Each structure stands twice: as structure tokens, then as C-alpha cells.
Amino acid sequence: MLRVFWAAFALLILCLLSLGVGVIDLTADAKAWQVLVISRVPRTIAVLITGAGLAICGAIMQMLVRNRFVEPMTSGTGQGAALGILLVTLFAPQASIFVKMVLASATALGSSLGFLAIVRRLPPTQPLLVPLVGIIYGGIIGAGVTYVAFQADLLQYIDVWMNGEFSGVLQGRYELLWVAAIVAAASYFAADQFAIVGMGRVASVNLGLNYGQVVLIGLVAISVVTALTVVTVGMIPFVGLVVPNIISRLYGENLRTTLPVTAFTGAAFVLASDILGRLLRYPYEIPVGTVFGIIGTGVFLWLLYVPRRHVP
């Protein structure tokens, strides 16, 4: 209980910091309230939802694929979403944001299914092939997107989605993320099912679970959250990889108990990275993905080399 309190306290401090850090000095500006409502609060909320959502997606995907080294942003789902946005931009530039969102989710789901189909054919004795294939698969889709964007003179446009960061988040331009938050939160209702799927197909069928259906539900949830994140803030790699691995090492993989911790840790880590990214080269910004990549990798390596303790 005490731990929960301190964790909540730390997150609150981070949120206050995030509201306070920026180019405009809130104490000296008469329009401070507007700055808060239009920019700082939306940005902080966007960071929290993104961090939590991507961490949850990573945890679920690792269960569905039965491999701890995959995450949506590096194994095709994120790139699939970018492909969807590119297609809308090319063929229906006037389409509403809702159409964009649906199409990006659909292409993200399609490329996730493709990844799963490839992974199923890999020898189970070579678990490291899975993330490698994922990176190559995602890389190919990403390269395709970049090539088409280059041909269509849309490179600058596409860059916004390929490299995620939060400086563009303003009131009225991030609200889609609430849908991602709802989908991510709803996935908690299937936490048991995802954990059972993580034990393998035989174990799932033995317990009477509709294996294919649960995998599909999981992929849809992952694709929607990933696509909405790419549409609003862009691709942010590693969150879905590092955070679930840290949590799984510390608390195991019974998602019913670990998913909330995973979501919380993802939110806190990404928020801390975003604040750091805003401060390091003040008044310029370093993209959150870069900062997170460095911190997250450090924490991850440290955890790998620390002897595991038994969960009490």
C-alpha cells in the first residue's frame, strides 16, 4: 500500500513538473492560464496515455507472440499504421480524422497479422529470430512508406509520424488519444485470457479458450492503440519493449496483476523522458523517443545483469 502511495506521489510530481516546464514562464505571463489549458495540460495527458498505452500493447503482444523481445512499434504494427496514414494522404487528402484513424488501424492490424503469420513459421527453438524478423519486417514496411512519400514529395509530412514527439500536441489535436486510452483500459478485461494464451496454444485449448479469437482480439486492441498513437504523436519505439520486460522481471507475467503496474510505469517513464527532453537543450527539445531509448536501454541492461530475486 505504501509503495502504491509513493508511486502515485512520484507521478504527481512528474505531472506538476511537466506542467511547469516550457518556454513561456507561467509566473510572468498574463496568459498563463491559456498556455496551461491549450498546451501544457494536453501535452501531459498525451504523454501519460501514450506511455501507458504503448507499454500495455507491448505486454499483450509479447503474450500473443510468446516472445519477450517484440513490440508493436518495431515489428510492423507502427509502420503499418504509418502506411495507412500515407494512403489516406495520397488518395483522400480531404478525409476526416476519423477515416484516417480507421484506415490506419486497419493497415496496422493487417501488418500485425502478417507478422504473426511469418512468426508461426519460425522454428520455436530459435526465439531470437522472432525480434530480428520483426525488425526486418517493420523496416521493410517503413522503407516502403518512406519511398512512396519521397516520390510524392511528402517526406516532411511523413517524418511527423515516423519520429514521434509531443511538442506538436495542442488542445483539439490530441483528443483521439482518449480512444486509445479506453481501448487499452478495456484490454484489461481480457488480462486472464492473454496470460493463458501466453502459456501456448495447447494450454489454451486445454482450458477451453478460443485461442484464435483471443489472439485476434489482442491484435485488434494493439493495432488500434498503436495506430491512434502514430496518428496523433508519431512512432515511439522501445516503450513497449523495455517497460513490460522490466515489469515481467520484477513481478512476473500474470497480466491481471501486472498490467496496471505496466501501464503506470510506462506513463511515468515516458513522462520523465519527455521532461528531460524538454530541459536538456532548453529552449530546444530532444525527441522523447531518443531520451527514452537511452534511459530505457540503461535500465534494461542493468536489470538483465542483476541477479533475479524470487517473487515473495
Partner 1 sequence: MIKVSHVTHRIGGATILSDVSVELAAGGVTALIGPNGAGKSTLLSLIARLIPLQSGSITVDDLTIGACPSDVLARKLAILPQSADAAPRLTVRDLVSFGRYPYHKGRGTEEDAQIVAQTLHRFGLNDLAGRQLDTLSGGQRQRAQVAMIHAQSTDYVLLDEPLNNLDIAASRSLMRMLRALGRTVVIVLHDINYASSYADQIVAMKDGRIHAVGTPADVVTEDLLADVFGTRATVHQIDGRPLVQV
- Which residues here bind partner 1, judged by CB under 8 A? 66, 124-125, 127, 192, 195-196, 198-203, 205-210, 248-249, 252-254, 308, 310-312
Looking at beta carbons only, is 62 or 79 nearer to partner 1?
Answer: 62
Looking at beta carbons only, is 281 or 309 nearer to partner 1?
Answer: 309
Q: How far is the CB of 304 from partner 1 (least distance, A)?
A: 14
Cell matching residue 241:
519493449
Looking at beta carbons only, is 200 or 298 nearer to partner 1?
Answer: 200
E strands, 233-301, are none
Q: How far is the CB of 249 from partner 1 (least distance, A)?
A: 8
Looking at beta carbons only, is 30 or 311 nearer to partner 1?
Answer: 311
Q: How far is the CB of 127 from partner 1 (least distance, A)?
A: 7
| 3-class secondary structure, 254 | coil
Cell matching residue 245:
520486460
Q: How far is the CB of 60 from partner 1 (least distance, A)?
A: 14
Phi/psi zone of residue 172: left (φ > 0), alpha (ψ -120 to 50 degrees), beta? left
Residue 281 vs residues 22, 139, 152, 230, 278: alpha-carbon distances, Å: 12, 30, 34, 25, 7
Looking at beta carbons only, is 96 or 206 nearer to partner 1?
Answer: 206
Q: How far is the CB of 69 from partner 1 (least distance, A)?
A: 11
Distance of CA 130 to the CA centre of its chain: 19
Select from 87, 83, 86, 88 the least CA-distant residue to 108. 83
Residue 297 vs residues 29, 238, 289: alpha-carbon distances, Å: 38, 8, 12
Q: How far is the CB of 237 from partner 1 (least distance, A)?
A: 23
Q: Measured between alpha carbons, how far is 53 from 45 in angstroms, rounded to an integer?
A: 12
Q: Measured between alpha carbons, how far is 56 from 111 in angstroms, rounded to an integer?
A: 19
Cell matching residue 123:
522454428
Looking at beta carbons only, is 31 or 201 nearer to partner 1?
Answer: 201
